[in-house]
C-alpha cells in the first residue's frame, strides 16, 4: 500500500512540476471562480484554508476573495511535531516565510483546536478518486486535523482543490483515510456524499474583513 501511494505521488508531482507559471495562474483563477460558486464556502462563517506554494493548485485568489466577502479564514501554522496550529488570515501582506517553503500568517496563534470552529476545511492533496478518497503528501498533518474534527463531533465540508488530471479512478486506501465531500478543479466541481444535517452553510461571519 505504501509503495502504491508513493508511486502515485511521484507521478502526480512530476506532472505538477511540468506546468509553467501561466498555466498555474490560469488554473488558480478558474479554481477560485468555481469555488466561489460553492455555498459551503461563500456561506460559511469560518473556513480553514492554506496558502498554496510552488506548483500546488493555487489558493491565494480564493483566500483573498473569501476574506473580502467577510468570511473568517484560518490558516495553518506547522508545529515541530507536524501538527497544525491556526491563525487568522488578514491579507497577503501579513504572510511570512516559514519552514519547508511554506507561508504562514503572522498573527495570534489560536491553537490546534481552532480548526473545529470551521464550517468548511480546504484540504491540500495530490489526488481524489471516485469515492472521494484523498491522497495527501504523506506527512500526516491533515490526518491529525481530520481526527481532531471527528473527536470534536463537528462535520465541516471537506473540500480539495486539484488540477483536472488529479481526479483519478482509484486512490490506494488505508483504514485511517477519510473521504472528502467535494473536489474543485479548473474544469469545475464534483460532489461526493454529504450527510443530512451537516454543517457548511451554518452561521454568518461575526466580523467583516480586516486588513
Concatenate the DSSP letters of all residues of 96-138 into one string: EE-GGG-EEE-S-B--GGGGGG-SEEEE--SEEETT--EE--S
Query: CB–CB of 86/118 below 8 Å?
Result: no
Cβ burial of 22 (10 Å; 0-12, 13-18, 19+) is exposed
206 band by pLDDT with thresholds 50, 70 and 90: very low
pLDDT of 138 reads 77
Question: What is the Cα 66 distance to its own chain's centre?
Answer: 13
pLDDT of 162 reads 97
pLDDT of 43 reads 94
Whether residue 202 is predicted with pLDDT greater than 60 in this model: the reply is no
What is the mean pLDDT of the segment spanning 61-85?
A: 96
Structural domains of the chain in order of their starting residue, each with its CATH number: 2-191 (3.40.50.10420)
Query: 200 forms bridges with which residues in the sheet?
Result: none
pTM above 0.75, yes or no: yes
pLDDT of 56 reads 96
pLDDT of 194 reads 57
Query: CB–CB of 181/159 below 8 Å?
Result: yes
pLDDT in tens, 135-154: 988 788 999 999 999 999 99
Q: Which of 40, 34, 45, 54 minimizes the C-alpha distance to 181?
A: 40
pLDDT of 1 reads 54
pLDDT in tens, 42-56: 999 999 999 999 999
pLDDT of 101 reads 86
What is the mean pLDDT of the segment spanning 29-33?
A: 97
What is the mean pLDDT of the segment spanning 95-107?
A: 91
Instruction: Give the rounded percent of residues in the chain with a pLDDT score beyond 90.
Output: 74
Whether residue 203 is predicted with pLDDT greater than 60 in this model: the reply is no
Alpha-carbon span 134 to 46, nearest angstrom: 22
Mean pLDDT of the chain: 88
Amino acid at each position: 500500500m505504501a509503495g502504491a501511494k508513493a508511486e502515485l505521488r511521484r507521478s502526480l508531482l512530476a506532472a505538477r512540476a511540468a506546468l509553467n507559471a501561466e498555466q498555474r495562474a490560469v488554473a488558480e483563477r478558474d479554481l477560485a471562480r468555481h469555488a466561489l460558486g460553492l455555498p459551503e464556502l461563500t456561506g460559511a462563517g469560518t473556513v480553514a484554508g492554506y496558502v498554496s506554494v510552488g506548483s500546488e493548485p493555487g489558493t491565494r485568489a480564493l483566500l483573498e476573495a473569501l476574506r473580502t466577502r467577510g468570511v473568517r479564514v484560518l490558516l495553518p501554522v506547522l508545529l515541530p511535531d507536524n501538527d497544525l496550529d491556526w491563525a487568522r488570515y488578514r491579507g497577503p501582506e501579513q504572510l511570512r516565510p516559514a519552514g519547508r517553503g511554506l507561508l504562514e500568517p503572522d498573527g495570534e496563534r489560536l491553537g490546534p483546536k481552532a480548526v473545529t470552529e470551521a464550517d468548511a476545511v480546504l484540504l491540500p492533496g495530490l489526488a481524489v478518486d471516485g469515492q472521494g478518497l484523498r491522497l495527501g503528501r504523506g506527512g500526516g498533518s491533515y490526518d491529525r486535523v481530520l481526527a481532531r474534527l471527528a473527536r470534536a463531533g463537528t462535520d465541516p465540508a471537506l473540500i480539495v482543490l486539484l488540477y483536472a488530471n488529479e481526479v483519478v479512478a482509484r486512490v490506494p486506501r488505508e483504514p485511517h483515510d477519510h473521504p472528502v465531500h467535494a473536489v474543485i478543479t479548473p474544469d469545475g466541481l464534483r460532489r461526493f456524499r454529504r450527510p443530512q444535517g451537516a454543517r457548511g452553510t451554518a452561521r454568518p461571519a461575526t466580523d467583516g474583513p480586516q486588513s
